[in-house]
Amino acid sequence: MDQTEILLTAETYALQGWDFAKGWLLSPAAWTQFGLLVVAYVVAVYITRKLLPLLSKYLAPPADQDNVLAKIRRFILMFTPLLLPLMAYAFTGLGEGVTRSIFGSGEVIAFGKRVFMFLAARILVREVLQDPMLKVLGRYLLLPIAALYAVGLLDEVMAQLDQTVLPLGNLSFSLLFLLRFIVVGGAIFWLGRWSNEQSSSFIKNQQEMRPAMRELAAKATEIAIFGLAFLLVMNIMGISLTSLAVLTGVIGVGLGFGLQKIASNFISGVILLLEGQATVGDYVELDGGEAGTIVKMTARATILETYDGRWIVVPNEDFITTRVVNYSDSGSANRYEAPFSVSYDTDINTVPAIVEAAVAKNPDVLSDPFPPDCELRGFGESGIDFSVEFWVNGIDDGRHKYTSDVLFRIWNALKDNDIEIPYPRRVIEMKGPFPSKPE
């Protein structure tokens, strides 16, 4: 084809395009649709500006409220940025019905309506969604789908994806099925995680329940929610649960052999929560030397936090098969001792009353089950040894330094009564004369 033929072909296409554009520009139906698009957008902007302050006024809860109703109201307010494009979409849909009934066509306004839906999807991904997983799904799945819908190619692309089959052994599925599974599964499991967070927060706020029962109820609710989410995904995608029988058998064999410890720790965790012998907030010490405050109980292990800020992961089985000392068992008090010494020149009959009165002034020292008790322990090399026993609700470590405060009070009380606290003394006996100084 020479240059003249190319120019003639280009001129032919240009004339056809001009005739097409001129037909649209001179068509009353096209101008009507353009006008309705503008009117729909302007009306949507006007109504949105009126509604947003009202929604913020009546839906926004006080900042100090954190109940279920307040969370629902905040959740609804998250979607207010979608108000403008969705209202424009709705008004454009009404305009499309009018133009199709009058002129028998509505391609222009239908395209505008799809563009408004694409803008709504874009705002949803950029401004509304906060969860990282949903943002990824929105950016790489929802926005491309909305763009294809806006240009009118969604049906063709979906048909092509449905015809593209991926073989996987004896199974095969289409790309369209895979995309639907990802979208539906991601949305349902996100909803399950959100529901689990809300239900767990609600259960843990029920202070009338024992801490162990709160943990057990939260775990049972979590298993129920995600189990239901799994069954729901399988049902929506049309996957028969009977086809999972072989997989279930394999999992059972794995639990019997390779996952014995995991199963044992899981059952041990359930027993711990049921019995309530150790729960979140307790300070425990195990036979292996691990000691700390229980900060979290998972299906496999219990997390201990030491007073130096370290976390220790202890398998739940260790709480069942080994000896565990719980210093924070419900309502229990702990006894501690503070040793000290006085000089041999002291009237020791006055020491117990002075020390007991000083220790009792500590607001954390209990009078029940026993008040402070100062006892004579022995006669040391440098002084007379005493020790005062006292009871407190808590552990003498971390934030609470009971023994340190008690010793300060003992020191001050002895000083106020002119009682000397001895220090080690040694008597050196020299036998024979001192060596003479050399001349």
* Domains along the sequence of the chain with CATH: 22-152 (no CATH), 266-326 (2.30.30.60), 334-416 (3.30.70.100)
Give residue-wise pLDDT tens across range 53-98. Answer: 888 887 777 777 777 677 777 778 888 888 888 888 888 877 777 6
Which two tokens mark 435? 């060596």
For residues 421 and 361, the answer to whether their CB atoms sit within 8 Å is no
Give the residue carrying structure tokens 């002084």. Answer: 383
Q: Which helix (H) or strand (E) holds 90?
A: helix 83-103
Distance CA 109, CA 404 (A): 81
CB 138 within 8 A of CB 152: no
Q: Would you state the pLDDT for residue 370?
A: 86
Q: What is the pLDDT of residue 104?
A: 62
Low-confidence ranges of the chain (pLDDT < 50): 1, 20, 330
Q: What is the pLDDT of residue 240?
A: 62
Predicted pLDDT at 2: 53
pLDDT, residue 94, reads: 78
Q: CA angle at residue 57 from 53 to 60, to 5 degrees? A: 120
H helices within 26-131, ranges in order? 28-59, 68-77, 83-103, 107-123
Whole-angstrom distance, CA of residue 185 vs CA of residue 141? 13
CB 86 within 8 A of CB 30: no
Taking the C-alpha atoms of residue 389 and residue 410, their distance in angstroms, rounded to an integer, is: 12
pLDDT of residue 57: 80
Distance between CA atoms of residues 295 and 24, nearest Å: 70
Residue 271 CA to residue 319 CA, distance in Å, equals 10
Alpha-carbon Rg for the chain in angstroms: 39
CA 403 to chain CA centroid, nearest Å: 37
Structure token pair of residue 377: 């322990």
Count how many residues are written for the chain. 439
pLDDT for 437 equals 63
pLDDT at 212: 61
Question: What is the pTM for the complete model shown?
Answer: 0.49
Amino acid identity at 302? T
pLDDT at 408: 92
Contact status, residue 118 vs residue 71, Cβ threshold 8 Å: no
